[in-house]
């Protein structure tokens, strides 16, 4: 494929990334603001011989993902806030069974039914496992439509590399905005990707059992130790962006669509002579603690900006611990953010 430029919504970029990333089975349940993803895949994935199925609930769709993943396929589901809550039981089982899967959360405002306006309120849920038991999902937070595409492709590779659920954490702004993307990856499917561990029927080998029940003496301990090591290994795939950080006096830390809006704010403030930089974590789990700490060691002041009441700021504080503090500015869930919203709080850092 020669790389093609397309003008698409963030949600469509995720869906196209899934196609080019080799998704074979996608299980849906409608919820705003992510419904463009199932709508796109219901049209396009079936043309390529993949499976598209709208399930009866998010609970069913995540368990269909579990089944397809156990069968060794690249499987995916997407939802938003309330639907992601329902998927948590299944995500915990997928993590406990060490299966690969991609889950997209295009966050909306909450708690409860909340609304369809933008929010980053599911940061804790995404980065702390979200369901029961001691597990983590790898979390990727795109900030542009291109990143929606790129990171969805990468999410599948990471899910199979670690045999762990990977979450794309976007939001209503990102899902709905239109931007050009370059489609650079050609869809290819390796039928033997999971051949060493997946279920095929036991022809020619011994029975395989994929489960998360660990009753035998010492086996739960062993699994948790293995998972802990796995989460440590994931640190080799930590991603982040530093934007004009080098000579900055004040560094704003923000992720996802807010990260990108804060970059515009930084540009505006630079033109007024303020030395502002932006540190944007792209993997939210594992969080770029060390990378942020390195920046802090250079003697900067920090402000964390989120579209929630203060979640990632806790990770920022952990990263900076013992070196300096961070201010926090909250744009409330439900409020659409503009670059102007962040001028005053950042300017105040220079007073």
Partner 1 sequence: MTKVSEKQVFSMPKCLNDVPTHFCPGCHHGIIHRLVAEAIDAFQLEDKAICVGSVGCSVFIYNYIDVDSVEAPHGRAPAVATGVKRARPDAFVFAYQGDGDLAAIGLSEIIHCANRGEKVSIIFVNNSVYGMTGGQMAPTTLVGQKTTTTPYGRSPQNEGYPLKMAELIGSLEGCAFSARVAVNNIKNIIKAKKAIKKAFLAQLKNKGFGFVEFLSACPTNWHLTPLEANKRVETEMMAYFPLGIYKDIVE
- Give the binding site for partner 1 (CB under 8 A): 24-25, 27, 51, 53, 55-57, 59-61, 63-73, 75, 89-90, 93, 97, 199-204, 207-213
Give the number of other CB atoms < 10 A from CB of residue 235.
13
Residue 76 exposed, middle or buried by CB count within 10 Å (0-12, 13-18, 19+): buried
Q: To the nearest whole angstrom, how small is the minimum distance from the Cβ of residue 310 to partner 1?
A: 32
Show the tokens assigned to 205.
Answer: 């080998």
Closer of 163 and 317 to partner 1 (Cβ): 163
Q: To the nearest whole angstrom, how small is the minimum distance from the Cβ of residue 114 to partner 1?
A: 24
Closer of 27 and 123 to partner 1 (Cβ): 27
Give the number of other CB atoms < 10 A from CB of residue 146.
19
Q: To the nearest whole angstrom, how small is the minimum distance from the Cβ of residue 250 to partner 1?
A: 47
Q: To the nearest whole angstrom, how small is the minimum distance from the Cβ of residue 194 to partner 1?
A: 10
Q: To the nearest whole angstrom, how small is the minimum distance from the Cβ of residue 54 to partner 1?
A: 10
Q: To the nearest whole angstrom, how small is the minimum distance from the Cβ of residue 77 to partner 1?
A: 10
Distances (CA, A) of 143 to 170, 180, 240: 8, 13, 11
Contact 72, 43 (CB under 8 A): no
Closer of 85 and 97 to partner 1 (Cβ): 97
Closer of 68 and 253 to partner 1 (Cβ): 68
Residue carrying the six token digits 């994929």: 210
Task: Give the H/E segment covering residue 162.
Answer: helix 145-162
Q: To the nearest whole angstrom, how small is the minimum distance from the Cβ of residue 142 to partner 1?
A: 26
The span from the CA of 108 to the CA of 115, in Å, is: 6
The number of residues making up the chain comes to 351
| Nearest partner of 130 among 92, 169, 170, 172, judged by Cα | 92
Q: To the nearest whole angstrom, how small is the minimum distance from the Cβ of residue 226 to partner 1?
A: 18
Contact 174, 256 (CB under 8 A): yes
Question: How are strands ordered across the β-sheet holding 326-330?
Answer: 240-243, 276-281, 250-253, 301-306, 326-330
Closer of 95 and 266 to partner 1 (Cβ): 95
Give the number of other CB atoms < 10 A from CB of residue 345.
17
Give the number of other CB atoms < 10 A from CB of residue 114.
17
Pairing of strands 25-28, 75-79: parallel
Beta bridge partners of 326: 302
| Cα–chain center distance at 69 | 19
Closer of 29 and 243 to partner 1 (Cβ): 29
Whether omega for the bond prior to residue 33 falls within 30 degrees of 0, making it cis, is yes
Q: To the nearest whole angstrom, how small is the minimum distance from the Cβ of residue 28 to partner 1?
A: 13
Closer of 51 and 309 to partner 1 (Cβ): 51
Closer of 166 and 316 to partner 1 (Cβ): 166
Closer of 57 and 338 to partner 1 (Cβ): 57
């Amino acid at each position: 494929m020669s790389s093609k430029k397309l003008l698409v919504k963030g949600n469509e970029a995720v869906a196209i990334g899934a196609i080019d990333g080799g998704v074979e089975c996608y299980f849906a349940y409608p919820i705003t603001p992510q419904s463009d993803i199932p709508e796109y895949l219901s049209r396009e994935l079936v043309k390529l011989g993949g499976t598209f199925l709208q399930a009866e609930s998010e609970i069913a769709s995540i368990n269909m993902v579990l089944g397809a993943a156990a069968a060794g396929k690249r499987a995916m589901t997407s939802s938003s806030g309330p639907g992601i809550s329902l998927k948590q039981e299944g995500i915990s089982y997928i993590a406990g069974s060490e299966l690969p899967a991609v889950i997209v959360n295009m966050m909306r405002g909450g708690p409860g039914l909340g609304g369809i306006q933008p929010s980053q309120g599911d940061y804790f849920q995404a980065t702390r496992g979200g369901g029961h038991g001691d597990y983590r999902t790898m979390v990727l937070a795109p900030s542009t439509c291109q990143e929606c595409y790129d990171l969805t492709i990468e999410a599948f590779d990471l899910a199979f590399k670690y045999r762990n659920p990977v979450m794309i954490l976007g939001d209503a702004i990102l899902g709905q905005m239109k931007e050009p993307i370059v489609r650079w990856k050609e869809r290819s499917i390796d039928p033997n990707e999971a051949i060493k561990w997946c279920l095929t029927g036991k022809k020619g080998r011994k029975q395989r059992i994929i489960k998360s029940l660990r009753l035998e003496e010492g086996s739960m301990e062993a699994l948790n130790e293995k998972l802990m090591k796995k989460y440590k290994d994931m640190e080799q795939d930590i991603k982040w962006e530093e934007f004009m950080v080098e000579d900055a006096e004040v560094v704003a830390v923000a992720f996802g669509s807010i990260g990108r809006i804060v970059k515009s704010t930084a540009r505006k403030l630079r033109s007024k002579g303020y030395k502002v930089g932006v540190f944007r974590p792209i993997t939210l789990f594992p969080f770029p603690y060390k990378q942020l700490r390195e920046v802090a060691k250079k003697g900067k002041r920090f402000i964390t900006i989120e579209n929630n009441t203060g979640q990632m700021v806790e990770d920022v504080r952990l990263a900076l611990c013992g070196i300096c503090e961070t201010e926090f500015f909250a744009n409330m869930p439900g409020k659409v953010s503009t670059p102007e919203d962040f001028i005053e709080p950042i300017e105040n850092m220079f007073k």
